[in-house]
Amino acid sequence: MENTLVLLKPDAVKRQLIGEIIARIEAKGYVIEDIDMLVPERDTLAAHYEEHEGKPFYEPLLEFMSSGPVVALKVSGHRVIEGFRSLAGTTDPTVAAPGTIRGDLGRDWGKKVVENLVHGSDSSLSAERELGIWFS
Ligand code: CMP
């Protein structure tokens, strides 16, 4: 059994898509093990996004992610890390495949940072690290 961290970003919460996105995760057969709704502290975001420090979208990203509540989910299932990333679709919602969360529900709003509704850990190492940040 594997666990992953899923974040429903502030754009998902503002657009009232929490239920829609969680329904897709559950309909796929994955299990919500833990859930928390919070406005993230800068320290939390800096730890979570440490690999992006110095990139042009880093500050806009932290500003966006602290602009309102996010929903953090610990999700479990066999191969859930890969499976959720497949459900989410590619980073850029404009070209994410229809049928995916980003492809069906996301678009480019012309902001400095790509607002793409969800985050999912990209490896078991990241999942362990990120779950430690959000569910310590
Ligand atoms: P996420 O998977 O949470 O990880 C980093 C986030 O930064 C990403 O989703 C997008 O929201 C954003 N992002 C990634 N690449 C870019 C980019 N080239 N320009 C703007 N924002 C980006």
What are the pLDDT tens digits along the chain (136 aa)? Answer: 999 999 999 999 999 999 999 999 999 999 999 999 999 999 999 999 999 999 999 999 999 999 999 999 999 999 999 999 999 999 999 999 999 999 999 999 999 999 999 999 999 999 999 999 999 8
Residue to probe by mutation, ligand 1, list 116, 122, 130, most atoms within 8 Å of CB: 116
Report CA(114)–ligand 1 centroid distance (Å): 5
Tokens of 23: 């329904």
What torsion do the CA atoms of 115, 12, 38, 129 make, to the nearest 10 degrees? -60
How high is the ipTM of this complex?
A: 0.92
Alpha carbons within 13 angstroms on the beta-carbon side of residue 34 total 11
Q: Which domains does the chain have, with CATH numbers?
A: 2-89+119-134 (3.30.70.141)
Ligand 1 atom 13, closest CA: 114
CA–CA distance, 13 with 118 (Å, rounded to integer)? 10
Report CA(115)–ligand 1 centroid distance (Å): 8
* Beta strand pairing call for 118-120 and 31-38: unpaired
pTM: 0.97
Residue 119 a catalytic site member: yes
Task: Classify residue 51 by its DSSP letter.
Answer: G
